Amino acid sequence: MNILLSLAFVLCWSSGFIGAKLGAGSASALTVLMWRFLPLAVVLVAVAVVLRSAWRGLTARDVTRQAVIGVLSQSGYLLSVYYAIQLGVSSGTTALIDGVQPLVAGALAGPLLGQYVSGRQWAGLGLGLGGVAVVTLADAAAGTGVAWWAYAV
C-alpha cells in the first residue's frame, strides 16, 4: 500500500506542473490553481463532516496554525510557481527550481534547528545548487522571450 500511495503522490504532485502549463494559455494562474484544488476541497469538506469526531480536541490555535500554513503554501509557494509558468518559464524549469527546497532546508537546518550539515553534505548541496543554476541559466538564455525576473518569481 505504501508503494501505491507513493506513486499516487508523485503522479499528483508532478501533474501540477503540467496542468499549470496547459492552463496558463487560457486562464490566469489564480484560476488554474483554484480549479486544481476545488474538487479536493469538496471531498475534504465531505470527509470532515462525516468524521466530526476527528475534530475533537482541536483548539483554535491548531486550526489557525493549519490555516496559516495553507495560506502560505497556496499564495507563497504554489501561486508563485503557477505565475512563473504563466509568464513563460517552462514547467520543467519551474519544477527544477522547486526541487531546490530540500537544499534550502538543508542550509537552514543549522541556524534554525541546530542540526548542522557536514562538509560532505555541503558539497552535495553545492553540487545540486550548481546543477539547478546551470539548467536555469541555459533555459533563461535560450531566447524564449521570457523576462529575466520571471525566473525569480
Q: What is the pLDDT of residues 39-90, one digit of tens each?
A: 888 988 888 888 877 777 888 899 899 889 888 877 778 888 888 888 888 8
- Segment 81-90, tens digit of pLDDT: 888 888 888 8
Hey, where are the domains in the chain? 13-86, 90-153
Name the DSSP class of 44.
Answer: H
pTM score, two decimals?
Answer: 0.67
pLDDT tens profile 101-148: 777 777 787 788 888 778 888 888 888 888 888 887 887 777 677 888
CA 90, CA 96: separation in Å to the nearest integer?
A: 10
C-alpha cell at 22: 496547459
